[in-house]
Amino acid sequence: MSPTDLPAAGGASGAGAASALLTVRGLQKSFGDNQVLHSVDLTVERGQVLVLIGSSGSGKTTVLRCLNGLEHADGGTVDVAGELTLDFAARPTKKQFNALRDRSAMVFQHYNLFPHMTVLENVIEGPVMVQKRPKSEATDEAVAMLERVGLAEKADAYPFELSGGQQQRVGIVRALALKPQLLLFDEPTSALDPELVGDVLRLIKELAAEGWTMVIVTHELEFAREVAHEVAFVDGGRIIERGHPSQLLRDPQQERTRQFLHRLLFPF
């Protein structure tokens, strides 16, 4: 399944209009007294990939969770495809949060599969229980997607019977099964043994080539260089630098970005 199978978003805006799939302005979030996001601005064009990098605790996961409605931001706006705008200062309704969740799907660092459900049940849970789609249709699609990622024979297995790489591929299929407009990946390979990282990154690259719009938090710099249309460096709850991967990863303009990349390349 590719995003071109989905109904075209943007409808009335017509050809020539700006084709941003995601526009975030002034996103703010505090946990108690701890202001984690100060003012985050992002734009991701339709079919493009934005990679977020930044130190531990800088707010990357919180940004993704706000984009998926798992956290309620305190301020700022999120617009998806010019069709759905949440103004957090004005307290979006439950219906708006549900609409946001319907348009975005998250792939988690630790897979977050339901342990008591089989692979197939994990994949169809969202489409059937949340989106109220017919179970037979959701099952057929799930089986086809599991086949595509080489996991058809694991459909009836439980997560604990799978390797981390297999679990994460199920996590990706589960996200795709929701037919979202936007895919969010939170360090999708950081919990994997090194030899399992490649399969997952290859799958994400294939999805990018198929035209999925994605925001990916990753510190796999070579992967970021290949897959990203833009890389943004998050520091202290702000995006302090962004640019084309060939520029930002090779010749960052900000000292903080330079230090971060240096630490990543020379950890010892």
Ligand X SMILES: Nc1ncnc2c1ncn2[C@@H]1O[C@H](COP(=O)(O)OP(=O)(O)OP(=O)(O)O)[C@@H](O)[C@H]1O
Neighbours of 222 (CB within 10 A): 10
Q: Which does 15 bind (CB under 5 to 8 A by kind): ligand X, Mg ion, none?
A: none
Asked whether position 188 contacts ligand X by CB under 6 A, the answer is no
The CB-of-87 to ligand X minimum distance in angstroms stands at: 22
* DSSP H or E run through 96: helix 94-103
Q: How many residues form the binding site for ligand X (CB under 6 A)?
A: 10
Asked whether position 61 contacts Mg ion by CB under 5 A, the answer is yes
Q: What is the token pair recorded at 258?
A: 């330079």
C-alpha–C-alpha distance, residues 188 and 161, integer Å: 19
Asked whether position 11 contacts ligand X by CB under 6 A, the answer is no
Q: Which does 57 bind (CB under 5 to 8 A by kind): ligand X, Mg ion, none?
A: ligand X
- With 0-12 / 13-18 / 19 or more C-beta atoms within 10 angstroms meaning exposed / middle / buried, residue 21 is buried
- Return the range that interacts with ligand X (CB under 6 A); candidates 57-65, 87-95, 118-126, 176-184: 57-65
Strands 84-87 and 104-107 turn out to be unpaired
Q: What is the token pair recorded at 141?
A: 């699609």
- With 0-12 / 13-18 / 19 or more C-beta atoms within 10 angstroms meaning exposed / middle / buried, residue 148 is middle
The binding track of 25-44 with respect to ligand X, each residue x by CB under 6 A or -, is ------x----x--------
The CB-of-61 to ligand X minimum distance in angstroms stands at: 3
- List 11, 13, 18, 57, residue binding ligand X (CB under 6 A): 57
Asked whether position 58 contacts ligand X by CB under 6 A, the answer is yes
Q: Which does 266 bind (CB under 5 to 8 A by kind): Mg ion, ligand X, none?
A: none
Compare residues 36 and 128 and give the one whose CB is closer to ligand X.
Answer: 36
Q: Which does 160 bind (CB under 5 to 8 A by kind): Mg ion, ligand X, none?
A: none
**Do 175 and 140 form a contact (C-beta atoms < 8 A)?**
no
The CB-of-56 to Mg ion minimum distance in angstroms stands at: 7
Q: What is the token pair recorded at 122?
A: 């994990």
- With 0-12 / 13-18 / 19 or more C-beta atoms within 10 angstroms meaning exposed / middle / buried, residue 97 is middle
Asked whether position 68 contacts Mg ion by CB under 5 A, the answer is no
Residue nearest to Mg ion (CB): 61
